[in-house]
Structure 1
Amino acid sequence: MAKAVQKITLSPSRDIPLDRLILSQANVRRVKAGVTIGELAEDIARRTLLQSLNVRPILDADNQETGMFEVPAGGRRFRALELLVKQKRLVKDAPVPCVVRAASDEVSAEEDSLAENTFREQLHPLDQFRAMQAMVDKGADVEAIAAHFMTTPAVVRQRLKLASVSPKLHEVYAEDGMTLEQLMAFSVSDDHARQEQVWELLGHSFNKSAGYIRARLTENSVRVADKRVRFVTLDAYVKAGGGVMRDLFEDDDGGWLTNPALLDTLVAARLDAEADRIRAEGWKWVATAVDMPWNAAAGLRELAGTTVPMSSEEEARMQTLQAEAEALESEWADVPCLPEEISTKLDALDRELGLLVDRPQTFAPEELSRAGAFLSIATDGSLIIERGYVKPEDEPTVEVEETADTECCGGETSVYGMSSDPGETAMAGGANEPEAEVEDEVVKPLPDRLVAELTAWRTLALQDALARDPATAFVAVLHAFVLDAFYPSSRETCLQLTANRASFAFAPTDLKDSGPARAISARHAQWKARLPQSDHDLWDALLRFDNAEQSALFAHCASLVLNAQAEVVPKYDNGRVSRHSIERRLEHSHVLARTVGLDLVAAGWRPTVTGYFQSVTKPRILADVCDARGSQFAEMIAHLKKPDMAREAERLLEEAAWLPEPMRTPGGSEAFTDGDGIDALPAFLEGPMLPSGEADCDHYAIAAE
């Protein structure tokens, strides 16, 4: 006969007055941890005790119960009750539910205390998220939940955001199939289908980081920090019905816009409105674009406007602002970190000063009516307005009045005021010159042909003299360069030299925002501010510059005509560009690149999805990754689809200092070294300028995707 299983008898429970309880020395908790006594007391005050105290009777010398009880397990609850009594929120003899153990129980009081704290298991985070969501669904307020659980509303919102993740991903998390960090990354998006799609993608990717998850969930959205958002403002976008995704667990710089099409519509509408406002000033045309092309003004004449002087009120305001800014800077000069309000105040002063210093310009009405303006958006969301550009077809035509005496020079009058009388031309040759009375002779201008012959002789003499004076020759070429770079409407120079500024048949849309483009633009603006408005004053200005300044300006102008682009050679000869000319151009550019130490990585170029990988095939992507990082990295992404492969390649090559072959500068014996290939610069060119991993692997075949 089987032995009967002995039944367990539970310890009885009863209500014991609080003033008959004392804390036992057998309680093993000595170190404070978790919720403080005060917070626990507040929780008991709201919902009373959720767990009884574990007590044992206190015996006297004769082993008789004294009516007092010690508390070996539940000491923190006991102290919280004592605090409520001290705060007069609980009577001192309030009945307390207790589980009473026998004083002579074979299990020690210390073991009870240790067991209560050891076998307690914290609630799974997913259960916390779901519980808070259930409370919200029943009408609980986020702030109230935060107050009840001694936390902040931000933490509650984070928990609720985690509760909104796809239930399928909750199941994966509950079974320890993903980390809490990964789950937090999925909370960026509210699209459950997209969340599940990205989770499936992780199953085929070696990269399962939270950052990768966020990048995939936000790839079809627009950052709030985008200049288009700053241009139309986030409030306008939200008011128009646009949605915003936020990351409650990491700094998201404002979040992501979920409706890029709506954003583009708002941007276009505001650009059109701004164009109408600028057009109302009297301009013939206004061109708008989010990113104005690099060479939008190529071939256009820039008008020279007149700067509007400051009024007395504006000058006084500028002095006041400068004094206020200087006072703040002096006051906080020794503080390593400025308070936010002081930094904000200084930024506001700088902005207002900038508006006062950046003076508007006025233009002649007849010029304004044939010219136009460009409107685009700056990186900070402000509007870039470039006024005063005349198209070649809008240039005024100059009608020359023809006379019977100007047939030799096509109807033009000689610059020396000389006649074009054929008879005078014949006399200039010295044949059959008639005799005339001195008193009847009138001093006539020299014939044009004679002037041409004389000035031809003078030209040769001037060429010889200029060749003997390198410094003056340098300034003469510099003068021609500056005319072309800064005074496109003026071509009056004695040098038959044309500095054609480089333009690109194909250019990235963000080329104007690249590091080199910003540096060139800033340098050009600095020189433009130092040069006179009229080209008639240019000679005097150039001669006043010292050698170092002339050299720096010369280098800037020379750089503008450099073209190292490998243009697309047309199938049929167009008379402008050929394969041979492109090859020679690139060879010469490599010499210059080696000489100046060109470093495109340091200049800021990186292989990105939009700038490179989306334009090449999958085999090319794999070959590039193999070239930069090795075959093992290429194999890791070989199974991915083209968009995902491109994104992974961008991440892998971000810090690899890798360049595609067309951007590399070939080495060779022709590379210049110190003292080899270039003589020392002449004295007038010397002086400081103005401020301003291989793997042995089999490459993948390059084939069409």
Structure 2
Amino acid sequence: MAKTVQKITLSPSRDIPFNKLALSQSNVRHLKAGVSIEDLAEDIARRGLLQSLNVRPVLDAQGAETGQFEIPAGGRRYRALERLVKQKRLSKTASIPCIVRDPKGEISAEEDSLAENVQRVALHPLDQFRAFKALRDQGAGEEEIAARFFVAPAVVKQRLRLAAVSEKLLEVYAQDGVTLEQLMAFTVTTDHARQEQVWEALQQSYDKEPYLIRRQLTESAVRGSDRRARFVGAEAYEAAGGVILRDLFEDDSGGWFEDVALLDRLATERLAAAAEKVAPEGWKWIEVAVDFRYGHMSHLRQLDGVTIELTPAEQVTFDALTAEQTKLEIEYEGADELPDEVDARLGEIEAALAAFENRPVRYEPTEIARAGVFVSIDADGRLDVDRGYVRPEDEPSIQASGEDPAEGETRQAGGTTSATSDMQRAVITIGGGESDGDDDSDDAIKPLPERLVGELTAHRTLALRDAVANNPQVAMTALLHKLCLDTFQHSAPGACLEASVRHVFFPAQAGDLKDSSSAQAVAERHEAWKAELPKDDDALWDWLATLDDTRRAALLAHCVSFGVNALYEKGDRYGGPGVSAHGVQHRIAQADRLARAVGLDMVEAGWRPTVDNYLGRVTKPRILEAVREAKGDQAAQLIDHLKKVEMATEAERLLDGTGWLPGPLRLVDNVDVSDTSTDTVEGLPAFLADGEEQDVAMDGVDPHPITAE
């Protein structure tokens, strides 16, 4: 006979007047936690009571109900209702929804109170983020949402920003695949594709710290504390269409200016405008740059000017400000903290006095006519106008007679004179080029993009690793070199042996890197060794001890190779935590030495220039330079009239098999970049030749068709 299932009977629900309710001493909550009673009362006043109170009848000595009820579960809601009654916003006899428990049941009031609090599951943060987003989508503003849930508007902004992260990453977070701190780091940008790209890259790294995520998401942006950003200003930058990445969870020092090209343009335009204001002073030249190289004035003579003294009126103002400053400092000398208005006034006085101290300098007109000015940005992001520098070629020559020029004349380079009454127009040079020149920027060979250099050196690093792993003698020399530096030049206390190899990852890499022959060779060798190595530490020691010298050297070379780093990266010129510019140069120099030792040849390693990995990423002059180096001037002339896309495609064909390499992949002492003869010039395919040809006589050989200009 089937056993009858006992049916569950739920406690009945009743509306009980508030004045019939009282708190129970069986309530297990005694410490304050969560939303305050005041905020809970306001929430109940707005939306009503969302959850009934759990009550039990109060019995008299004979066990009969008295009509009163005590509350073992729901005490905070009762306190909030009580507050509303005291404020006369709720009637004393208002009906309160309650679940009435049987006082004679097996379950005690304390157990009910404990169960209600312990079995409560807090809302997952992601559900909260999405709920806030849903409220905003329904038309509620951030301030309104904050008021409804008694949080600061900044908290609402943060949660809405978290809800706006890539849905793919949110799902990973929901499955505990990413921490809340990591998710917060991804909110720096709203670019979902970039967020996912960085997350995929992090899967190959053991380091997934939030600071690293922020750094990778903002690697192509400029910090708000950068002098260019402070000089231009966030308002002007955003007015020009620029986007500032903001971190709502940490102090971001003004965020990150995403469009670096726009920022540089705005900074240069503002500097150029400042130079135009300086030009009427009569200087011979004005150089404008966001940042001049170190020692740019070392070969120039600086004029000795005379600081212009204060006028009587300025002197009176200066003395009054100084006296006021002294008075305030004496008055508040013993104060722990200055009043806001006093602190602000002292700041104003200091700024005014600083302006008086930075007095203009007067130079002789004859000196101004041969000297120049540097216009730039100082370390604090302010305009820096540095006047009075004379180039060696502009120094006056000594006249044979030893006579000075007549008054009102200036001596020019070469000893000629001209009247200063005709004010000369200063030649303004911006970033190395005259502002009013006729130079065609398309014809200038510009530096390679930094990311492209990073990708090229990633190819070289991987090839160098493979070469080092195949040359145990060089690997042992490199390791011994590193150990000697650590032993004799640095202090390395701590572990038994702190020699280590840190696997270097590639933050910038081309799409074809993983498919290169070097990558495949490294991976195959790694898996072969991995299959042989014992997993246990002691067993590994015993296994290594039994290896013969040849295999021991091969394994050492393989391990050492993973520490090879020939990557180019932008050096930190301001003493930050990153590698310095000098450090990068030193790294590349050591990589060249290592490459020579192993006889690295990037052509043999399988690299060749293509549209995707180089030619489509550089300017037209760079493409023509590559073809000219590999095939000669006549080959370059075949394609110099083409558009960029067609030129890159045709250059790939012309360079195929020549062994040409871009600068970052060459050794510094390499002179010949190709063994291909430049005597033979190929013709363009018919579809690129525009249907026109010219005859070129070439030492008795048949003329080759080339495109007409």
TM-score, scaled relative to structure 1: 0.60
CA contact (8 A) 1:625 1:631 kept: no
- CA distance in 1: counterparts of 2:130 and 2:499, whole angstroms: 42
- CA distance in 2: counterparts of 1:203 and 1:647, whole angstroms: 22
- CA distance in 2: counterparts of 1:368 and 1:195, whole angstroms: 55
1:353 and 2:353 are equivalent in the alignment: yes
Q: Alpha-carbon deviations, 1:361-380, whole Å to 9, x = none?
A: 22233332232211111011
CA contact (8 A) 2:454 2:508 kept: no
- CA distance in 1: counterparts of 2:312 and 2:379, whole angstroms: 33
- CA distance in 1: counterparts of 2:63 and 2:124, whole angstroms: 45
Task: Report the secondary structure of 1:170's partner residue.
Answer: helix
- CA distance in 2: counterparts of 1:57 and 1:69, whole angstroms: 4
* Alignment correspondent of 1:471: none
- CA distance in 2: counterparts of 1:339 and 1:206, whole angstroms: 50
Matches of residues 314-393 of structure 1 in structure 2 within 5 Å? 314-335=314-335, 342-393=342-393
Q: Alpha-carbon deviations, 1:616-642, whole Å to 9, x = none?
A: 963799979987799876343357666
- CA distance in 1: counterparts of 2:501 and 2:60, whole angstroms: 80
* Alignment correspondent of 2:419: none
1:146 and 2:146 are equivalent in the alignment: yes
* Alignment correspondent of 2:461: 618
Q: Which moved more, 1:9-18 or 1:332-341?
A: 332-341
CA contact (8 A) 1:12 1:99 kept: yes
* Alignment correspondent of 1:250: 250
Quote how far apart the aligned CAs of 1:3 are.
1.8
1:73 and 2:73 are equivalent in the alignment: yes
- CA distance in 1: counterparts of 2:294 and 2:452, whole angstroms: 17
Matches of residues 164-243 of structure 1 in structure 2 within 5 Å? 164-243=164-243
Q: Which moved more, 1:254-263 or 1:85-94?
A: 254-263
- CA distance in 1: counterparts of 2:311 and 2:220, whole angstroms: 50
CA contact (8 A) 2:571 2:580 kept: no
Aligned pair in 2 of structure 1 residues 267, 68: CA closer, same or farther (>3 Å)?
Answer: same
- CA distance in 2: counterparts of 1:374 and 1:396, whole angstroms: 21
- CA distance in 2: counterparts of 1:610 and 1:347, whole angstroms: 47
Quote how far apart the aligned CAs of 1:399 are.
3.9
Quote how far apart the aligned CAs of 1:246 are.
0.9
Matches of residues 290-689 of structure 1 in structure 2 within 5 Å? 290-335=290-335, 342-400=342-400, 618=461, 634-637=501-504
Q: Alpha-carbon deviations, 1:184-214, whole Å to 9, x = none?
A: 1111111111111111122111211111111
Q: Alpha-carbon deviations, 1:10-69, whole Å to 9, x = none?
A: 111111111111212221112222122111111110111000011112222332222221
Quote how far apart the aligned CAs of 1:344 are.
4.5
Matches of residues 90-169 of structure 1 in structure 2 within 5 Å? 90-169=90-169
CA contact (8 A) 1:285 1:373 kept: yes
- CA distance in 1: counterparts of 2:35 and 2:482, whole angstroms: 52
Aligned pair in 2 of structure 1 residues 612, 13: CA closer, same or farther (>3 Å)?
Answer: closer
- Aligned residue pairs total 467
* Alignment correspondent of 2:3: 3
* Alignment correspondent of 1:83: 83
- CA distance in 2: counterparts of 1:152 and 1:639, whole angstroms: 41
CA contact (8 A) 1:224 1:254 kept: yes
Task: Report the secondary structure of 1:102's partner residue.
Answer: coil
- CA distance in 2: counterparts of 1:610 and 1:345, whole angstroms: 52
Aligned pair in 2 of structure 1 residues 212, 28: CA closer, same or farther (>3 Å)?
Answer: same
CA contact (8 A) 2:376 2:385 kept: yes
Aligned pair in 2 of structure 1 residues 663, 632: CA closer, same or farther (>3 Å)?
Answer: closer
Quote how far apart the aligned CAs of 1:306 are.
2.7
Aligned pair in 2 of structure 1 residues 6, 633: CA closer, same or farther (>3 Å)?
Answer: farther
Task: Report the secondary structure of 1:16's partner residue.
Answer: strand
Task: Report the secondary structure of 1:376's partner residue.
Answer: strand
Task: Report the secondary structure of 1:71's partner residue.
Answer: strand
Quote how far apart the aligned CAs of 1:304 are.
2.5
Q: Which moved more, 1:614-623 or 1:35-44?
A: 614-623
Quote how far apart the aligned CAs of 1:126 are.
0.6
- CA distance in 1: counterparts of 2:202 and 2:195, whole angstroms: 11
* Residue type of the alignment partner of 1:637: V
* Residue type of the alignment partner of 1:367: E
Aligned pair in 2 of structure 1 residues 615, 306: CA closer, same or farther (>3 Å)?
Answer: farther
* Residue type of the alignment partner of 2:501: A
- CA distance in 1: counterparts of 2:201 and 2:58, whole angstroms: 65
- CA distance in 2: counterparts of 1:380 and 1:57, whole angstroms: 73
CA contact (8 A) 1:231 1:381 kept: yes
Q: Alpha-carbon deviations, 1:255-300, whole Å to 9, x = none?
A: 1111111111111111111111100112122111111233333443
Q: Alpha-carbon deviations, 1:382-420, whole Å to 9, x = none?
A: 12212122334434444435xxxxxxxxxx99xxxxxxx
* Alignment correspondent of 2:14: 14
- CA distance in 2: counterparts of 1:17 and 1:133, whole angstroms: 38
- CA distance in 2: counterparts of 1:639 and 1:384, whole angstroms: 38
CA contact (8 A) 2:571 2:581 kept: no
Aligned pair in 2 of structure 1 residues 395, 640: CA closer, same or farther (>3 Å)?
Answer: closer
Gaps of 5+ in 2: 404-412, 414-430, 432-449, 466-477, 487-491, 511-564, 588-596, 603-664, 666-709
Aligned pair in 2 of structure 1 residues 321, 108: CA closer, same or farther (>3 Å)?
Answer: same
Aligned pair in 2 of structure 1 residues 175, 399: CA closer, same or farther (>3 Å)?
Answer: same
Task: Report the secondary structure of 2:68's partner residue.
Answer: strand
- CA distance in 2: counterparts of 1:24 and 1:141, whole angstroms: 41
* Alignment correspondent of 1:42: 42
- CA distance in 2: counterparts of 1:625 and 1:639, whole angstroms: 22
Quote how far apart the aligned CAs of 1:325 are.
2.1
Q: Alpha-carbon deviations, 1:138-161, whole Å to 9, x = none?
A: 111211211111111111111111
Q: Alpha-carbon deviations, 1:452-473, whole Å to 9, x = none?
A: xxxxxxxxxxxxxxxxxxxxxx
- CA distance in 2: counterparts of 1:655 and 1:262, whole angstroms: 25
Task: Report the secondary structure of 2:129's partner residue.
Answer: helix
CA contact (8 A) 2:173 2:179 kept: yes
Quote how far apart the aligned CAs of 1:613 are.
13
CA contact (8 A) 2:457 2:568 kept: no
- CA distance in 2: counterparts of 1:366 and 1:247, whole angstroms: 54
Aligned pair in 2 of structure 1 residues 661, 27: CA closer, same or farther (>3 Å)?
Answer: closer
Task: Report the secondary structure of 2:503's partner residue.
Answer: helix
CA contact (8 A) 1:41 1:83 kept: yes
Aligned pair in 2 of structure 1 residues 658, 302: CA closer, same or farther (>3 Å)?
Answer: closer
Aligned pair in 2 of structure 1 residues 301, 654: CA closer, same or farther (>3 Å)?
Answer: closer
Percent of pairs identical after alignment?
50
Aligned pair in 2 of structure 1 residues 615, 391: CA closer, same or farther (>3 Å)?
Answer: farther
Aligned pair in 2 of structure 1 residues 137, 662: CA closer, same or farther (>3 Å)?
Answer: closer
* Residue type of the alignment partner of 1:38: E
Q: Alpha-carbon deviations, 1:223-268, whole Å to 9, x = none?
A: 1111111212221111111111111111111111111111111111
The RMSD of aligned alpha carbons is: 3.9
| Larger Rg computed on CA atoms | 1
Aligned pair in 2 of structure 1 residues 658, 200: CA closer, same or farther (>3 Å)?
Answer: same
* Residue type of the alignment partner of 2:147: A
- CA distance in 2: counterparts of 1:196 and 1:149, whole angstroms: 32
Task: Report the secondary structure of 1:171's partner residue.
Answer: helix
Quote how far apart the aligned CAs of 1:647 are.
7.3
